[in-house]
Amino acid sequence: SQKIEQNSEALNIQEGKTATLTCNYTNYSPAYLQWYRQDPGRGPVFLLLIRENEKEKRKERLKVTFDTTLKQSLFHITASQPADSATYLCALDTNAGKSTFGDGTTLTVKP
């Protein structure tokens, strides 16, 4: 069956460190993968999109990698700040524009 797994429900790190979040999937062949940020009580906010033929994408302190052989995406936040504390969702394109989301990883950055 198709499955999307994001590493541990919660991740706690110290301010200034790099946070690494993982998204693994099985039985999908996504054309692209997206990462979203969600704050409590709010809708998800788009961060980055990476396509199947791209290995890495960067945006300011954010970096995403996509390994279609390992069926895994890594999401990095460098020089993390308490304001980065939120839930991060990965989403796979599984059918022409319809995305399937993982359950998210809640990141807490401690000052």
Partner 1 sequence: DTGVSQNPRHKITKRGQNVTFRCDPISEHNRLYWYRQTLGQGPEFLTYFQNEAQLEKSRLLSDRFSAERPKGSFSTLEIQRTEQGDSAMYLCASSTGQRYQETQYFGPGTRLLVL
Q: Which of 42, 60, 69, 111 is close enough to bind partner 1 by CB under 8 A?
A: 42
Q: Does 56 bind partner 1 (CB under 8 A)?
A: no
28 touches partner 1 by CB under 8 A: no
Q: Which of 1, 69, 98, 111 binds partner 1 (CB under 8 A)?
A: 98
Sheet bearing 19-26, strands edge to edge: 3-6, 19-26, 72-77, 62-67, 56-59
Distance CA 51, CA 47 (A): 14
> Where does this chain touch partner 1 (CB under 8 A) — which range of 40-48, 54-62, 63-71, 75-83?
40-48
